[in-house]
Structure 1
Amino acid sequence: MKVLITGARGQLGRALAATAPEDAILHTIEIDDCNLTDRAAVKELMEQVAPDLVINAAAYTAVDKAESDEDAARAINADAVANVREAFAGKLVHLSTDFVFDGTSSRAYRPDDTRKPLSVYGRTKAAGEDHLAHGDVLVRTAWVYTSGGANFVRTMLRLMQEKPSLGVVADQIGAPTWAPGLARTIWGLIAADAAGTFHHSDAGVASWYDFAVAIQEEALALGLLASAIPIAPIPTSAYPTPAARPAFSLLDCSKTRELLEDGYTHWRTNLRRMLLEEKALG
């Protein structure tokens, strides 16, 4: 099985390559290999590679910057998906986000729930979803992180070493996602010949404040931090950003777990695994 992975240098792209099944022949690309917003370039790429499957992990993820850069966000998050879908006749696995929801639900969002994005990022990701065809796989996820990447966990570790105290938003609720776990779910869906919309995040519930407190506690236990600093819960209003964010974006992953029969892993367990890897990286 020849698999083309876009966004190969991103957190998920690297995790997909690291967890790929033995029978997968990977062809990985980044923006400098092929501009996915260029229709002709995508057509040429598909003719050259002739993949059996495409996993689109490329995305414009600068949530706040997108508010003033909508054309670029739409080109990457929506138009590029259309280009891939037009040029490729096989199954497309596409990654999307919890930001397609408005955060007003009183329960975890199911795959078939109505989308109502609050931001340019969310709207462009929703537009990308609309280009998928029957038989494709859409995987929504949230709060992705991994060792060695640019993410909330590593930012918190740095700030906890540099700052005497931190204030972290406590009224945005969801669940973190360890990229290798997400990658294994994607490969599992492919192996099951799944089609349709699926959600994946780690089990449990957290605010960004809860996540930050856990990062400090686990990092202290592993010797990644020398001492603790005070962490205060703050409201979203105390940390204004250009883009509106859903206050509640927990994803209901029961459909995914039932199909794969692989159980649930709590986000704190995966956080510990990531920090162990981070420690090994030095």
Structure 2
Amino acid sequence: MNILITGSKGQLGKSIQKFSPDFGQYKFTYTDVEELDITNYEQLKEFISANKFNVIINCAGYTAVDKAEDEPEKAMLLNATVPGYLTELSNKFGFLLIHISTDYIFDGYSNRPYIEYDMPGPLSYYAKSKTDGEAEILSKANKAVIFRTSWLYSEFGHNFVKTIIRLANERDVLNIVDDQVGTPTYAGDLAQVILKLLPKLIKTLGIQIYHYSNEGKASWYDFAKEIIRISELKCKVNPIETKDYPLHARRPKYSLMDKSKIKNTFGIQIPHWEDSLKICLLNI
């Protein structure tokens, strides 16, 4: 099986590279903006045509949630236009498109974990761009898989875990938001699930959406407290409300996702976020 990974220098792309030696039956091609400008339709088409991929895992995306408020066109290009390009090329060349989306497409007003077919209600330009990217796939694709995930972190790149460790080493006290609830997700777990499920995913008929995060729930305050506890840092953590820490972009107050579909369809076990955090911290 010939597989293209776009956005290979991001957290998920690097995590897939980390675990790819365990999947020697596949041929992987890794690209980032230096090797392939996926926003250039003709270049993308030519590259795909020349390489005859069976699967493209689109890990590329604009992920700066607050910055997207000031440059929505950049977020839309990567998060909405590019999935449209890949969908069109998937229909033309017959490869399976696996696309990564986010819990932030939801508005956070639910009183239960979101299922795959709950209506989106994006609160920010970032969330709208991801929602529009899904819409491109859902309205046009012959065959595709969308994975929605949440609060992604890893030993790679910039993320909440690394930021908390850095700040906890610099300060005595941190004030962290306690009224936004979701699930931290280790990119290594998501990468392994995608790779392990490839033989089944390739048989997908039509379009499927799966929710995947680690098990359990947490606020950003809970998450930060656990990072500091496991890392044995001395920094104190205080809980605050979202209104006391204003950011440029609005976030959902509640973005837990129901993972019954992926667990029941494929019989997978999903680690608890606290267990996966320990594994990640051993690698930082």
Which amino acid letter does the alignment assign opposite residue 12 of structure 1?
L
Counterpart mapping for 1:115-154 below 5 A: 115-132=120-137, 133-154=141-162
Over the residues paired in the alignment, what is the CA RMSD in angstroms? Answer: 1.1
Structure 1: distance between partners of 2:122 and 2:198: 28
Does residue 114 of structure 1 match 2:119? Answer: yes
Structure 2: distance between partners of 1:46 and 1:265: 35
What's the CA shift for 1:258? 1.7
Number of residue pairs matched by the alignment: 272
Q: Which moved more, 1:88-97 or 1:168-177?
A: 88-97
Correspondence for 2:27:
25
What's the CA shift for 1:92? 0.1
Structure 1: distance between partners of 2:9 and 2:224: 26
Correspondence for 1:270:
276
Structure 2: distance between partners of 1:262 and 1:9: 27
Counterpart mapping for 1:182-261 below 5 A: 182-193=190-201, 194=204, 195-220=207-232, 225=233, 228-261=234-267
CA displacement, residues 87-114 of structure 1 (integer Å, 9 cap, x when unaligned): 2332100000011100000011111111
Correspondence for 2:75:
73
What's the CA shift for 1:47? 1.4
CA displacement, residues 14-50 of structure 1 (integer Å, 9 cap, x when unaligned): 1112223221100110012121111111111111222
Q: Alignment identity in percent?
A: 38
What's the CA shift for 1:187? 1.9
Of residues 187, 190, 197, the one that matches 1:179 is 187
What's the CA shift for 1:178? 0.3
Structure 2 alignment gaps of length 5 or more: none
Correspondence for 1:85:
87
Residue 251 of structure 1 aligns to a residue whose secondary structure is coil
> What TM-score, normalized by structure 1, do the two folds share?
0.94
Structure 2: distance between partners of 1:229 and 1:52: 48
Correspondence for 1:163:
171
Correspondence for 1:48:
50
Structure 1 alignment gaps of length 5 or more: none
What's the CA shift for 1:153? 0.4
Contact 2:96–2:144 (Cα < 8 Å) also in 1: yes
CA displacement, residues 68-127 of structure 1 (integer Å, 9 cap, x when unaligned): 101111011011111122223321000000111000000111111111101100111011
Contact 2:10–2:156 (Cα < 8 Å) also in 1: no
